[in-house]
Amino acid sequence: MLIQTQHQINWSSIGQFLFVIAGQKCKKDSMHNTVNDTKANVNGEVRVRMAPSPTGFLHIGGARTALFNWLYAKHHHGKFILRIDDTDTARSTDESMHEIYEAMQWLGLDWDEGGEKDGPYGPYLQSKRKDIYDRYVKELLASEKAYHCYCTQEELEGIRTEAREAKSVRSYDGRCRELSSEVIEKYIAEGRKPTIRIKMPDTPILVDDLILGSRNIDPATLEDEVIVRFNGMPNYNLTSIIDDVEMKITHVIRGTEHLNNTPKQIAIANALELSLPKFAHIPLVLDDTGRKLSKRHHGDLVAVNRYREQGYLPQAMLNFVARLGWSYDDKQEIFSLEELIDKFDLARVGKSGSVFDIKKLEWLNSHYINELDVSTRTDAVIPYWQAEGLIDTIENRAKLEKIVEAVGERLNTLKDIVPQTSYFFTQDFEYDPKATKKWWGNSDEKKQKTCEILTNLSQILADTPDFDLETIESSVWKYTDENDIKRVAAMQSMRIALTGLSFGPSLFDIVVLLGREEVLERLHRAVVSLT
């Protein structure tokens, strides 16, 4: 892979070299094409694309494909194009298209052309490019490299079953390649609407992949692919390669699920005498059973938007997804976007699939949350408080920031703010039974003791001259130490009384934030519930 990248660089200099030599010897006109082609492919800017079909939300795998393309473009100071592959009119929706835009924007993966942006090679919706495809299909038909196929769905199914039983490599035998005009007329009279198929070549097709290496595909394993549906709408394999060429895409970076489509697309391009982009098939993102992550099997569990809602930061998602299949060296895990742009390289993308591990995502997410300054973190967390009805309008911003500060590094997701802090906003919480059992005690005797401690603490907190951290801390500890009470026991008992929980921020932070009145009330309530 390193060699191939190297190869590419060498080529460009060779190209320039040839230009000089050739310019001296050849007629300008005849050179013109050659030079331009060479320039477009080798010397020109890198152009990559993301080509989702708007049949659902953007999922983790799609986000990674988008990121790899985006990084590749940025790294090479090229262009990133967003093309919408919506030739499946039955399944494509506008809503889904906008959802994809939104998810991409949230991730910060901006694009140079396509989507709702215009560009020199538009339109960027395949549904609006039909005339372009028609032109190429016409050419294919005229040169007899494609033909009409009148087989019905039922017939095709029959052929497939037979082929399977015969252990044949192909499931369509090209029977409509040479139909007599009588038969065609008969079919038309029957009202059959033909599809158009491409004639696959009988010579091997070379598939050169930047990640997987090159191999020759035996043409015997390829069948005459449908390129235009009976309703006149062209198919993915045709539109994809035509647009890649038309849009001057230099590198097609996509998931390995498309590996088997590549020879078909190459065959189409060859039939049209179009020059090819380079291909790079990145390994799949898998679930924990090793299957490809897909909308169909995993639902919105794999939707980028779901992670957004759950309180994951885009930089965490990006960092996480970048390390799925790609690595820089044997130590670095945390990469800023700038570093990714700088360090990303297809040569360091592996060949095998990677399992989506939410634990690692969480770890990265907490890392990036902790990197946020308190003010930004507060902004990020406010919507989650609001969604839970814990706050309405932001009246006391300063206090919110103090709460966030007290919570410190205890957030794996932004949403974690809710269970971590809800007691700051409401008295309506339960005492966690596990916690009370452990710290308040099970027996009447122990409960009695806890009650006594809480009552004393209540008295002490009522009496302190000031209600600041230092005063509170020293008075409480004076009490525990002089009375031979374990600090932990006192603190945890009080924590449960104030929050219902056995975990959380430093207790004295909570006390100060709650304020004297609230603390005394809650202590009283706890004492009552204990007796």
Residues 347-366 that bind RNA (CB under 7 A): 348, 350-355, 357, 359-360, 362-363, 366
Q: Rounded CA gap, 244 and 99, in Å?
A: 24
Residue 195 touching RNA (CB under 7 A): yes
Residue 130 touching RNA (CB under 7 A): no
Query: Looking at beta carbons only, is 148 or 251 nearer to RNA?
Result: 148
Residue 405 touching RNA (CB under 7 A): no
* H-helix or E-strand spanning residue 28: helix 28-38
Q: Rounded CA gap, 303 and 312, in Å?
A: 12
Query: Looking at beta carbons only, is 113 or 244 nearer to RNA?
Result: 244
Residue 108 touching RNA (CB under 7 A): no
Q: Rounded CA gap, 423 and 153, in Å?
A: 63
Give first-to-last CA distance, the chain, whole Å.
74
Residue 12 touching RNA (CB under 7 A): no
Task: Name the token pair of 409.
Answer: 């590094």
CA torsion, points 52, 54, 59, 62, in degrees to nearest 10?
Answer: 0
209 three-state secondary structure = strand
Among 32, 98, 177, 487, contact with RNA (rule: CB under 7 A): 487
CB of 397 to RNA, least distance (A): 24
Residue 99 touching RNA (CB under 7 A): no
Tell me how many residues contact RNA (CB under 7 A).
91
Subset of residues 285 to 324 that bind RNA, contact rule: CB under 7 A: 286, 288-292, 323-324
φ/ψ of residue 348, rounded to 5: -105, 20
Query: Looking at beta carbons only, is 1 or 46 nearer to RNA?
Result: 1
Among 11, 19, 121, 230, contact with RNA (rule: CB under 7 A): 230
226 three-state secondary structure = strand
**CA–centroid distance for 497 within its chain:** 43
**Which residues are within 8 A (CB) of 183 and not within 5 positions of it... i.e. 6 or more apart?**
none
Query: Looking at beta carbons only, is 310 or 502 nearer to RNA?
Result: 502
Among 181, 203, 231, 443, contact with RNA (rule: CB under 7 A): 231
CA torsion, points 414, 416, 421, 425, in degrees to nearest 10?
Answer: 70
Query: Looking at beta carbons only, is 35 or 222 nearer to RNA?
Result: 222
Q: Rounded CA gap, 458 and 460, in Å?
A: 5
The site string for RNA over 25-64 (x = CB under 7 A, - otherwise) reads --------------------------xxx-x---------
For strands 226-228 and 354-355, give the pairing. Answer: unpaired
Scanning 23-31, 217-225, 243-251, 375-383 for contacts with RNA by CB under 7 A, the matching segment is: 217-225
Q: DSSP string covering 408-448, please?
A: TT--SSGGGHHHHHGGGT-S--PPPHHHIIIII-SSHHHHH
φ/ψ of residue 228, rounded to 5: -135, 130
Residue 409 touching RNA (CB under 7 A): yes
Query: Looking at beta carbons only, is 21 or 488 nearer to RNA?
Result: 488
Among 117, 177, 215, 434, contact with RNA (rule: CB under 7 A): 215
Residue 65 touching RNA (CB under 7 A): no
Nearest CA-CA partner of 81 in 41, 35, 44, 48:
48
Among 158, 389, 408, 515, contact with RNA (rule: CB under 7 A): 408
Q: Rounded CA gap, 481 and 462, in Å?
A: 19
The site string for RNA over 151-180 (x = CB under 7 A, - otherwise) reads xxx--x---x--xx--xxx-xx--------
Scanning 7-15, 136-144, 449-457, 506-514 for contacts with RNA by CB under 7 A, the matching segment is: 506-514
Query: How far is CA 460 from each of CA 43, 329, 440, 475, 523, rounded to the nearest angstrom?
Result: 79, 57, 19, 7, 12
From the candidates 39, 130, 145, 295, which is the catalytic residue? Answer: 295
Among 43, 261, 310, 464, contact with RNA (rule: CB under 7 A): 261
Is 295 a catalytic site residue? yes
| 501 and 425 Cβ atoms separated by less than 8 Å | no
Among 38, 65, 96, 235, contact with RNA (rule: CB under 7 A): 235
Subset of residues 427 to 486 that bind RNA, contact rule: CB under 7 A: none
CA angle, residues 186, 187, 193, in degrees to nearest 5 = 150
Among 330, 373, 392, 482, contact with RNA (rule: CB under 7 A): 330
CB of 297 to RNA, least distance (A): 8
| 341 and 74 Cβ atoms separated by less than 8 Å | yes
Return the number of other C-beta atoms located less than 10 Å from residue 190's C-beta.
9
Residue 77 touching RNA (CB under 7 A): no
Return the number of other C-beta atoms located less than 10 Å from residue 50's C-beta.
28
Scanning 12-20, 38-46, 211-219, 299-307 for contacts with RNA by CB under 7 A, the matching segment is: 211-219
Scanning 12-20, 32-40, 283-291, 457-465 for contacts with RNA by CB under 7 A, the matching segment is: 283-291
Scanning 177-185, 212-220, 335-343, 391-399 for contacts with RNA by CB under 7 A, the matching segment is: 212-220
Among 38, 41, 69, 87, contact with RNA (rule: CB under 7 A): 87
Active site residues: 295
